[in-house]
A and B are shown apart, each in its own frame.
Chain A
Amino acid sequence: MLTAILVMVGIAVVIGLVLGWSAIRFKVEGNPLAEKIDAILPQTQCGQCGFPGCRPYAEAIAKGEADINQCPPGGEEGVKKLAELLGVEPKSLDETHGTPKPKSVAFIDEQICIGCTLCIQACPVDAISGAAKQMHTIIAAECTGCELCLPPCPVDCISMVPLAEDLPHWKWKHPVIELKRVA
Chain B
Amino acid sequence: MLTLDGLHIRQGSFELKADLSIGQGRKVAVIGPSGAGKSTLLGALGGFVDIVAGRMICAGEDMAKAPPGARPIAMLFQDNNMFPHLTIRQNVGLGLRSNLRLSAKDEQQVQTAIDRVGLSGLEGRRPAALSGGQQSRAALARVLVQNKPLLLLDEPFAALGPALRQEMLDLVKDLVAETGATLLMVTHAPEDVARIADDVVFVDEGRAQAPVPAAELMANPPPALRAYLGS
Q: Do A and B come from one complex?
A: no
